[in-house]
Chains A and B, each alone.
Chain A
Amino acid sequence: MIASVRAAWFADRRRPAVWTVTATWTILALAFGIGIPYLVHLGLAGDPEQADAAESLLAAVLPGQLVTTGIGLFPLFGGAIVVILGALVVGNEYRWGTLNLIFTQRPRRGQVLAGHAVVLCGLTLLIAVLTFGALALVTGLLAMVEGRAPGWPPAADLAGAVAAAWLICTAHASVGWFLAIAFRSTATAIAVGLVWTLVLENAISGLALVLSPLQLLQKVLLAPSSGALAGALGARSQFDGGTPGVMESSSALLPVIVLLGYTLLMFGLGSWLAARRDVS
């Protein structure tokens, strides 16, 4: 098992696509989480009638709201990006035909796939840490520029937000990972994964506002659960002027259970499928 993890890490860390996705997400997080609100703040700052809105926008990009600003980015935007990462990690094995190489070495197929899954979990942790690290750096700089006290959040809150971001990313990545195995293709997995998380689940969430039977279904969907977890950590929902994808929630328990369930189910199903099918 350790040999499989080492080998998977050896292969995955050298894939340019992995780092391209990671860097793209980090830049997007900074742009959507900090850059755009700060630019809007600058635009409103000179207008006395918009002073409250400008102050609110500035507060959102300072370290004091690092947890809520950061975690609010993950349910919709981060999740979608990480679906791509999950699909890339295993889908390219089918594209390049390298499963032939790997499966004829020594470990069982399950061990090979578990190795990739562990590496993927490591990459999602890295993304969560990197995102909050970059946000912390930039918000700290902005506090200096604006002459405000940083007011850093408690370390426990920050750790909780990183853990929640990791869980959201891992659950989404596991979906991309499973789809790549199911379709034996990277491109199809990415397309279906994005349609699933961005279109289908959001459509159901929208319909759930008017069709109450769908509310139960909504609670076990990936994106709404991610949004509910972010909401439970204090991120403001879109209806409350927050980030798209975030949902009001008073408890993190159910979203955590659902996201863990997705992670285990997708990794388990993918491994089972890859282990029992012929490699052609």
Chain B
Amino acid sequence: MDDRFAIELEAVTKRYQGGVTAVDGLDLRVREGEVLGFLGPNGAGKTTTMRMLVGLVRPSSGHIRVLGQPPGTPGQLARVGALIESPAFYPHLSGRDNLRLAARYAGMPDSAADRVLSEVGLSDRAGSPYRTYSLGMKQRLGVATALLKEPILLILDEPTNGLDPAGVSEMRELLRSLGQRGHTVLLSSHVLAEVEQVCDRIAVINRGRLVAEGTPDELRGALGTGMLLIDAEPVDRAVACLREHDLVRAVEAVDGRLHVTADPALAAELNRRLVTAGIDVRELRPLRHSLEEAFLELTATHRSDAADADREQKIAEPTDGPEVTTGASR
């Protein structure tokens, strides 16, 4: 396996007793130093995958390497910080003592606890019993535990769950700074705006399989809407001019701009046509999905089309940069 990847999963399957397949032949690679958003609907297999990455759950088949080692080994765990599902701590211990306990297991000095408490903004309540913490404080303590070992790889499952807006913003800044400092982060979240702002790339899984991966821009573009957005003046003449084109199927004015149903490949030709007609064109670009729309479309497609899950389906290829594919990973 290539050592430029912090995480490598090859054809990983996890089948639980009772026949439930949580992860089904998943291939996924996370490059060193990147922040990868890990998206999928509930039950898609995200948490099981993350559990496998730290050795809490063993795969039924396939191969996993984390930082070049099998998951769950002391050497690997020493360099990985993880927050998986809801944080779980000793209710009778204070936040500080819970962190000290984790530090002792990790072979870190007790002073590491105070460092990370400050980093997540929990110093003021560090001495209070964990059972008195709010959901947001519990979440902060979970993130503090993940940071305790000064890890080079962070695996975070819904780290902003339960945080107030200010907490979400702080967490976003923290994640961004971790990425800038060269940490590798695997981030699962349902807050797509957060993922979009923080992540270098996104992987979408559904029914335990990878259905798409790429940068946020690539994912949005990968599922083209088949529409162009044109900002032109005067609008009425632009509409008339575009409707004359045989391959333009519809033109609709939305908030002073035009949504043109046509092959995005016609963009240059339509631009020429408008300019030749003496119409000012201020903006012309393919109309893209929001990340949320792309996510819903990707997961809905694969939810309703499980029988075709093996069929790799290339929906779009950007002209530059890495190829973005959607469909089952193998």
Q: Which residues of A pack against B, CB within 8 Å? A: 3-4, 6-7, 10-11, 14-16, 96-98, 100-108, 112, 278-280
Contacts and interface: CB of A to CB of B under 8 A. Distances in A.
A11 B74 contact: no
A278 B87 CA distance: 18
A3 B105 CA distance: 6
Interface string B44-79: 000000010011111000000000000011100110
A135 B78 CA distance: 48
A98 B131 CA distance: 13
Nearest to A111: B74
- Chain B interface main SS type: loop
Contact of B102 (A97, A101, A280): A101
A6 B92 contact: no
B57 A278 contact: yes
Given A7-B105, A14-B93, A112-B105, A104 B88 contact: no
Contacts of B90: 11, 14, 96, 98
Contact of B56 (A3, A106, A279): A279
A113 to B, nearest CB: 12
Nearest to B100: A10
Nearest to A17: B92
B89 interface: yes
A107 B108 CA distance: 12
Nearest to B155: A104
Contacts of B72: 103
B104 interface: yes
A98 B89 contact: yes
A97 B145 CA distance: 15
Contacts of B87: 101
A105 B105 contact: yes
Interface string B215-252: 00000000000000000000000000000000000000
B285 to A, nearest CB: 45
Nearest to B53: A104
Contact of B82 (A11, A14, A98, A104): A104
B97 A101 contact: no
7 contacts: A4-B105, A7-B104, A10-B100, A101-B102, A103-B56, A106-B105, A280-B51
B101 A96 contact: no
Interface of B: 51, 54-58, 72-74, 77-78, 80, 82, 84-93, 97-98, 100-102, 104-107, 145, 149
Nearest to A112: B105
Nearest to A100: B88
A119 B19 CA distance: 38
B107 A3 contact: yes
Contacts of A104: 54-56, 77, 80, 82, 84
A105 B85 CA distance: 16
Contacts of B89: 96, 98, 101
The 4 closest A-B pairs by CB, nearest first: A97-B88, A105-B105, A7-B104, A105-B106
A101 B88 contact: yes
A7 B74 contact: no
Given A98-B89, A100-B84, A280 B57 contact: yes
B61 to A, nearest CB: 15
Contact of B78 (A6, A14, A106): A106
Contacts of B86: 97
A107 B88 contact: no
A107 B107 CA distance: 9
B105 A102 contact: yes
A152 B27 CA distance: 73
Contacts of A108: 73-74
Given A3-B105, A103-B54, A279-B57, 12 more contacts: A3-B104, A4-B105, A10-B100, A11-B101, A14-B92, A98-B88, A98-B90, A100-B84, A104-B82, A105-B149, A106-B78, A106-B107
B57 A106 contact: no
A98 B80 CA distance: 17
Nearest to A103: B56
Contacts of A7: 101, 104-105
B84 A96 contact: no
Contacts of B105: 3-4, 7, 102, 105-107, 112
Contacts of A15: 92
A244 to B, nearest CB: 35
Contacts of B74: 106-108
A7 B148 CA distance: 15
